[in-house]
Chain A
Amino acid sequence: KAGVTQTPRYLIKTRGQQVTLSCSPISGHRSVSWYQQTPGQGLQFLFEYFSETQRNKGNFPGRFSGRQFSNSRSEMNVSTLELGDSALYLCASSPGLAGEPPKETQYFGPGTRLLVL
């Protein structure tokens, strides 16, 4: 079974631009979560999507948004980029259970490394 894939792997943008990152979960997985990892703040939860709906959301500004498609693929968008948005953006998928939070393993993709100049 193919793992979680993320595109692009590396990206350079300038302040004020916007960016869209893509994540394809493991086949059959319905839950996709997004995380930001920086040396200063560590790994932080952005949001989780399940069946095309945002199910959980972390404490990030509205410039960070996402969506999930019917095939469970997900995208996240960051508008009006700031220097502090430079980070590794990770997505993780899990089978997902409706209702209760998933107890099963989350599988992380390799991440997209974003550099904002």
Chain B
Amino acid sequence: GQNIDQPTEMTATEGAIVQINCTYQTSGFNGLFWYQQHAGEAPTFLSYNVLDGLEEKGRFSSFLSRSKGYSYLLLKELQMKDSASYLCAVRDRTSGGSYIPTFGRGTSLIVHP
């Protein structure tokens, strides 16, 4: 099985930078995903990491350390529309050869003016 931990809620100010952490335990790591989900809407893909290091995509960056079971999502120049839930998901390769994604409970980010 897997255990994925991320903070339940974070608050930040418009224009600032926020880092959302995600720690995980898995036996067959095969990639880590970040999704954004606004209230009442479906999740949208933000990033994918399978190798250690930083992946940058505009205002959003995602970092992965496989040895530490740790990832973070960095949001720069925060905007009000960034208020949403951010889901960390780890894909695990099982002994049976299946690829199973497991999601964290999500971090609710509230951006204040």
Contacts and interface: CB of A to CB of B under 8 A. Distances in A.
A58 B100 contact: yes
> What size tier do the contact residues of chain A reach?
10 to 19
Contacts of A58: 100
A106 to B, nearest CB: 6
A45 interface: yes
Given A101-B30, A103-B31, A45 B45 contact: no
B43 A108 contact: yes
Q: Chain B interface mostly helix, strand, loop or mixed?
A: strand
A111 B48 contact: no
Interface residues of B, number: 22
B101 interface: yes
Best-surrounded residue of A58, A107, A108, A111 (most CB of chain B within 10 A)? A108
A109 B14 CA distance: 29
B16 to A, nearest CB: 27
B101 to A, nearest CB: 5
B42 A90 contact: yes
Given A90-B42, A101-B99, 13 more contacts: A42-B105, A43-B43, A45-B102, A48-B99, A56-B98, A90-B43, A101-B31, A101-B91, A103-B48, A105-B48, A106-B45, A107-B45, A110-B41
Contacts of B93: 101
A15 interface: no
